[in-house]
Structure 1
Amino acid sequence: MDDLESIKQKRMQELKQSLEQKQYPSSPVTITDASFDEFVSKYSLVLVDCWAPWCGPCRMLSPVLDEMATEMQGKVVFGKLNVDEEKMTAVNFGIASIPAMLIFKEGKFVDKLIGAVPKQNIIQKLQPYM
């Protein structure tokens, strides 16, 4: 009977993790000034990419973040904020250079990365918050 209970508990845990993962987007979500607070509060760990269409390094970083969003689904949610269109959030966080990545844990701002940094650097920055 103990073996059966152990298997049941393990399967329940797997199903729970699977369900949680499905609720996390597998690609970056476009966010606005209006949706910003709700977005960063909705998930336990969020990285917001502050970018603009004319920014070359931002365009270089975009496919990396797309890939990471898929790989880290269920752990980190990625958002994209166009600072040309959504100026208030950029001003609130003192974004002077882009790309800039803002990291939020449980809705609170905890860290930031500036520039088109390699994927491994982004992972290292996120690791302590996972």
Structure 2
Amino acid sequence: MTAREVTDASFDADVLKSTKPVLVDFWAEWCGPCRKLSPILDEIAGEHSEKVDVVKLNVDDNPATAAKYGITSIPAVYVFKDGVVAAQSIGAKPKQVLEQEFADFLK
């Protein structure tokens, strides 16, 4: 299982109205740390699919959503629960660190 793409158009339905927490990876093609983080998030998506959804939003292709949430540094991983930001992590981090930061949503 891998993280799936969301867009400005699908963000409301895919993320804000989700019945379970959603990890959103704000990323861009040109961002090296984003490319390092991507396979880690795919692993988390596969291992914790019953607890959370993991999605990716390309900030270059979807500037409205990135602007709405004030994304200025990428990669940025936000957890949305019940339509609001419940947690966030900025920068590429090892899997263990992300799992600790988001432990409340992965258990």
* TM-score of the alignment, normalized to the shorter chain, above 0.5: yes
Cα distance in structure 2, aligned partners of 1:111 and 1:69: 17
2:87 aligned with 1:118? no
Backbone CA RMSD of aligned residues: 1.1
Corresponding position: 1:37 with 2:12: yes
* Contiguous gaps of at least 5 residues in structure 2: none
Read off the aligned partner of 1:76 and give its amino acid letter.
V
Q: Scaled by the length of structure 1, what TM-score is found? A: 0.76
What pairs with 1:14-29 in structure 2 (closer than 5 Å)?
26-29=1-4
CA shift for structure 1 position 67: 1.1
Asked if residue 59 in structure 1 is aligned to residue 35 in structure 2, the reply is yes
User: Between the two proteins, what is the percent identity of the paired residues?
Assistant: 50
Which structure ranks higher in relative contact order (CA pairs < 8 Å, sequence separation ≥ 6)? 2
Is the partner of 1:42 in helix, strand or coil? coil
**Comparing both structures, which one devotes a greater share of its residues to helix?**
1
Q: Which has the larger radius of gyration?
A: 1
Q: How many residues align?
A: 105
Structure 1: 4+ residue segments shifted above 2 A = none
Q: Distance in 2 between matches of 1:27 and 1:59?
A: 14
Partner of 1:80: 56
TM-score by length of 2: 0.92
Distance 1:64 1:124 in 2: 14
The one-letter amino acid paired with 2:73 is S
Query: 2:77 aligned with 1:94, yes or no?
Result: no
**1:48 aligned partner, one-letter code:** V
- Contact map agreement 1:44 1:107 (CA 8 A) in 2: no
Unaligned runs of 5+ in 1: 1-25
Report deviation, 1:51.
0.3
SS of equivalent to 1:65? helix
In structure 2, C-alpha distance between the alignment counterparts of 1:94 and 1:73, rounded to whole Å? 27
Shift of residue 125 of structure 1?
1.8
